[in-house]
Structure 1
Amino acid sequence: MGDDMPYAGESDAGKFSPPWPEVRELGRLVWDHLVLVTPLAPGEVILAMGCHDVRVAVHAARLWHEGWAPLVVVSGGRGKITAGWEETEAQVFARVAREHGVPAEALLLEETAANTGENITATRSLLAARGTPVRRGILVAKPYMTRRSLATARLRWPEVEWLASAPEIGYETYLGEDARRFLELMVGDLRRMVVYAERGFQVPMPVPEAAWAAHLRLAELGYDRHLIR
């Protein structure tokens, strides 16, 4: 089964042939909870959270051009999706940002982070070493990573007022690009929000019953590759 056709055959577990209308609606319930963007206000830094989707870097560049902050930090080493990249996520994001008009002097690379928590803590250490004070920061992430990014930043760097922004990419667009990977990542992220809050890695954010039930059903249907056991 191709990644863009999660309804066409069996799942990875070889047990299910999920009905696509049900899968689509379940995914939307999870998406609606995970997406949390905030109104913007001027700050000291735009923090682009490294990932496989370079549109995050494009959006960070857009915010810089709009004057929301004078500095863009691109953070990311290699993660579960980008492990095979020749460059770090930060290097790729920095190149994309420069291609979209962000000058080198307004860019800072953080190339060690392998997860969301490290995006925050490593950037905090980097800016502290440079003597750059931060009172308000703008997190830029994939839409469905905005809530988890905020929950993590509010615990790992609580002195900062954190806002969240994301590329204007809709649910249906992600489904059309790589539906299986997209749904698997969302299922994993929703579970992580609960487990990581319990472990003290991020602030707790209550999950609506409908979203929790949807993620359980998607996992049951085979979209469980990134699910914490």
Structure 2
Amino acid sequence: MYHRGMFPVVVFSGGSTRTTQHRLPRGEAVHYRERALELDVPEAAILLDPHATNTGANIMNSRALLEAAGYRPRSLLLISKPYAERRTFATARKLWPEIDVICASMPVGFDEYVRSIGNERLVVDMMIGDLQRIIEYPARGFTIPQEVSAEVIAAYDRLYAAGFVSRAVPPA
């Protein structure tokens, strides 16, 4: 996308997390920067934040990096995990409301995503944790509110009750 002229700069943001620490031990941002360099994205077009450990920090740190480099974007394309697009969008709208945001991820089905992670239970736990954040984070001031259908809430409640909670956040 960079080579197609879709944007002048790429920001890679993210340190190591419980999910990625074994696959990307030097952190998400460092890994993705290295991959971009392999794909001939010039070093001068890359901004790096290897410190963020949550979506809010990804956005705030990226904003600071862009501003420090003299960029004043009107729109952003945020790339996230497939199940995190809605929460990423809601976080960006809360923390950077004046910007137009588009969120995207690799088009990957559930089975393929599970194979890439290697643990079906963990994937469901991550999805439940993410949905919990979509539901609860607006009241904590972290995201804008989003509508969640009764059907989705019912499925969430069943999975949460069944113990898919390793990535749930503690009660406020």
TM-score normalised over the length of structure 1: 0.69
Structure 1: unaligned runs, 5 residues or longer: 1-62
Aligned to 1:100: 39
CA distance in 2 between counterparts of 1:103 and 1:130 reads 15
Aligned to 1:78: 16
CA distance in 2 between counterparts of 1:130 and 1:185 reads 34
Deviation at 1:66, TM superposition (A): 2.9
Is the contact made by 2:12 and 2:46 (CA closer than 8 Å) also made in structure 1? yes
Is 1:196 equivalent to 2:134 in the alignment?
A: no
Bigger relative contact order, structure 1 or 2 (CA pairs below 8 A, ≥6 apart): 1
CA distance in 2 between counterparts of 1:166 and 1:67 reads 19
In structure 2, what residue type is equivalent to 1:202?
T
Deviation at 1:228, TM superposition (A): 2.0
CA distance in 1 between counterparts of 2:88 and 2:25 reads 25
Match of 1:134 among 45, 66, 73: 73
Is the contact made by 2:12 and 2:47 (CA closer than 8 Å) also made in structure 1? yes
CA distance in 2 between counterparts of 1:98 and 1:212 reads 42
CA distance in 2 between counterparts of 1:184 and 1:214 reads 13
TM-score normalised over the length of structure 2: 0.90
Is 1:221 equivalent to 2:167 in the alignment?
A: no
CA distance in 2 between counterparts of 1:111 and 1:132 reads 19
Is 1:210 equivalent to 2:137 in the alignment?
A: no
User: What stretches of structure 1 move > 4 A for 4+ residues in a row?
Assistant: none
**What are the Cα deviations for residues 112-134 of structure 1, in whole angstroms up to 9, with x where unaligned?**
11100000011111111222111
In structure 1, what residue type is equivalent to 2:114?
L
Superposition RMSD in Å: 1.5
Q: State how many pairs are aligned.
A: 167
CA distance in 2 between counterparts of 1:125 and 1:179 reads 36
Is the contact made by 2:9 and 2:47 (CA closer than 8 Å) also made in structure 1? yes
Match of 2:113 among 174, 198, 206: 174
Match of 1:148 among 84, 87, 90: 87
Is the contact made by 2:128 and 2:164 (CA closer than 8 Å) also made in structure 1? yes
Structure 2: unaligned runs, 5 residues or longer: none
Is 1:184 equivalent to 2:122 in the alignment?
A: no
CA distance in 1 between counterparts of 2:13 and 2:87 reads 16
1:154-165 to 2 correspondences below 5 Å: 154-165=93-104
Aligned to 2:63: 124
Deviation at 1:79, TM superposition (A): 2.1
Deviation at 1:80, TM superposition (A): 2.8
Deviation at 1:83, TM superposition (A): 4.1
SS for the counterpart of 1:64 is coil
CA distance in 2 between counterparts of 1:148 and 1:65 reads 28
SS for the counterpart of 2:10 is strand
Aligned to 2:52: 113
CA distance in 1 between counterparts of 2:110 and 2:8 reads 31
